[in-house]
Every structure is written in structure tokens, then in C-alpha cells.
Amino acid sequence: MVELLERLCSAFGPSSCEDEVRGIIIEAIKPYATSLRTDKCGNLVAFKQGKKRREHKMLLSAHMDEVGFMVTAVSNEGFVLFDTIGGIDRRVASGRRIVLGDSRMPAVVAAKAIHLQTAEERGVVPPIDKMFIDIGCRTRKDTLLRVSPGDVAVFEPNFERFGDRKIKSKAIDDRFGCWALCELIKREPEYDTYFAFVTAEEEGCRGAMNIAYSERAEQVVVVEGTTAGDIHGAPESRLACILGQGAVISFMDNGTVYDPDVVRGIVRLAEEKGVKYQLKNLVAGGNDAQAYQRSALPAKVAAVSAPVRYIHSACSVADERDFEEIIKLLGVIIDQSDI
């Protein structure tokens, strides 16, 4: 489990630049998939033939992209100005190591040192347009030999197991989901099932929109990482979900209202099969389910997620035991004719 997950989490893949991630996935699933295809948006769709055909087409979906940074300009002093790709809290950006561009150049996100700050600036997180990326060059000319506007960057790979079966890494959202689909494709399912590895979720669910139209699945399960709030000082009413308490089943988020019958059906399956699960107790975030639900040919949708602390940061944290429970639950779901 860990070897493939580490490769996926460490891969370079901000929105629109998912090629490296897709290559790892194709290598992992090609011996097991009945067929594979890639579309013009970079989405990868795998089909796995089961023992029976479904009356209503089922598709599992995970996104390949991660949050990151994009170069917008270079200053006269040789520093790189940038904007964010996806929802990065500016508090987690400053001081972080990143890798930039096709060469995976090492760099640092920086801001004015505390010794140079005015009294008004101290204790205030600077906005993104006051931060810069330092690649170690002294002049604008030198920097422009190495960097161009439009180049993209991600947090430096830093996968690590620690503590009580915890994993720390960038991009657990949603390389975990990609890993889960890769594991499921290795199985012999009861029914024909489709698997979509989609692009640009962090920038508006763009890849999933195309898959919704091209595949026209009637049932879609989105496999995601979602915000865990079980940190020091958090009130119980704002936990959302908790590490180590199993698969997260959502009833609503900022993009999707899930069919109560579908939610109840998945909960019933989890209980019948002894799968540890939890309901997401906060309406927050969003995922590709909204693209599949809002298409011209809408699908029944469900979201099965892994709880992740510090999501969209350089050091997200998840629990291996939750991954195991999610694989069990997804295996049960795809062996049903309908959700």
C-alpha cells in the first residue's frame, strides 16, 4: 500500500499538469484494467469488466491534481511573484520549500523577515501578493533564464510515516483517492465498473465536468480526502470528521446535496459488513460530486472520503486505518448493482 501511495503523493501534479501522476497510475493499473483511455483534458478512464453487466452504469472518481503555485512575474531583484492554484491558506505558504517548473527547481516561499517588519506588520500574515519565491538568483535576468510566467510549483515532496500509523505528506488530497481506485481495479468485481482519474478538481472540477458528459454514468462515487477537525481546541460541533474513525460519508457539502436514500444505503452496507464509518458532521468544502450531479445527464452521487488534517498544506496528515476501512467499503459498494 505505502509504496504506491508514496509515489503518488510525491508526484508533481498541480491543476493542468497531471501528466506525471497519470503516468504512475497507468503503470500501476494497466495489467489489471480491461481497457484504458485518456481524453483531451488529460482525464484517464479505466474499465474493469465484472462477472455481470449493470443495468445502471457505475463510475468511481478521484482527482489527480493538487494545490500549488503559478509564477506571475519576476522582480528587478530576481524574486518570483506568484499566485495560488486551488485553495491554499496563506498562513501555510510562507517559509515552505517548493519545487518549481519542469526541472523541479528547489525554491522557498518567503516574505519580509520579522526583523524588518514594522510594528503594524508584526503578527499579521502577509497577503500572497506580498510574498515571493526565492530561487537563489540575484537579478531579474538570471531568474528569467530559469523561470517564466506561467510556470507552476508544488510543495516539496515529504512523504513520511510517523506516530501511530499516521502518514504525513503533501497532496494526500486526492492522491489517496487515486491509490484507492488503483487498489480496487486489481480485484475481480461482481459487476462492470468504470474508474475515472480526473484533472483540475482544485480549479473548479473541470475534469469531472467532461467525464460527466462523456461517460454518462448513472451512479458515481467520488473518493476524496476531506477536512478533519480533530485538533487541539476545536469544539466538538466543528470537528467535521476524526482521524481513525473510519470512512467518511457525506450528506451535504458546499457543492452537493447527497440523496438521503443513497447515504442511508451506504451506511446500511457499512454496518452489515462491519466497516468502520462516520458521517461528516459539517457542511463544508466540496468535490467533484457536484460536477456529476449538475450535468445535463445527472447521476446519483455519493462521496466516500478519508479524514485529513491540515488539508491543502505541505504537511497533511491521515491515518492508514481509515484507508483500510475505505477500501473495504468501496469494495462492498462496487459489488452491488446499485447505490
Distance CA 8, CA 171 (A): 8
pLDDT for the residue 112: 78
Q: Which parts of the chain have pLDDT scores under 50?
A: none
Could you state, in order of their start, the residue ranges of all structural domains in the chain? Answer: 2-66+170-334, 68-155
In CATH terms, 2-66+170-334 corresponds, of 3.40.718.10, 1.10.20.10, 3.40.50.2300, 3.40.630.10, to 3.40.630.10
Nearest to 37 by CA among 151, 197, 149, 268: 197
pLDDT for the residue 230: 87
Question: pLDDT digit string (tens) for 76-91?
Answer: 999 999 999 999 999 8
What is the per-residue burial (b if ≥16 Cβ within 10 Å, else e) of 3-25? ebbbbbbbbbbbbbbbebbbebb
pLDDT for the residue 17: 96
- pTM for the model: 0.94
Indicate the CATH number for domain 68-155.
2.40.30.40
pLDDT for the residue 137: 94
